[in-house]
Amino acid sequence: MPQTNILNNPKPELERFIAGNDYDRLIQCAQDVGESIAHEELTKSQLRNIYGMVKQIQTEGFKGNSPLKLKLLRPKLAYVAAKEKRLGRLATVLDEAIQMVKDDTQFQHFADFFEAIVAYHFAESKKRGS
pLDDT tens sequence across 32-88? 999 999 888 778 888 888 899 899 999 888 888 889 999 999 999 998 888 888 888
The answer to whether position 32 is within a domain reads yes
Domain residue limits at 71: 27-128
The answer to whether position 80 is within a domain reads yes
Distance between CA atoms of 85 and 116, rounded to whole angstroms?
Answer: 22
The answer to whether position 123 is within a domain reads yes
Q: What is the pLDDT of residues 84-122, one digit of tens each?
A: 888 888 999 999 999 999 999 999 999 999 999 999 999
Mean pLDDT calculated for residue range 6-24: 91
Model confidence at 1: pLDDT above 70: no
The answer to whether position 51 is within a domain reads yes
The answer to whether position 15 is within a domain reads no
The answer to whether position 47 is within a domain reads yes
Q: 20 falls in which pLDDT band (50, 70, 90)?
A: confident
Residue type for position 51:
Y
87 burial (CB, 10 Å; 0-12 / 13-18 / 19+) is buried
Distance between CA atoms of 114 and 59, rounded to whole angstroms?
Answer: 15
Q: What is the pTM of this model?
A: 0.92
Domains contained in the chain, number: 1
Distance between CA atoms of 112 and 70, rounded to whole angstroms?
Answer: 15
19 burial (CB, 10 Å; 0-12 / 13-18 / 19+) is middle
The answer to whether position 14 is within a domain reads no
The answer to whether position 85 is within a domain reads yes
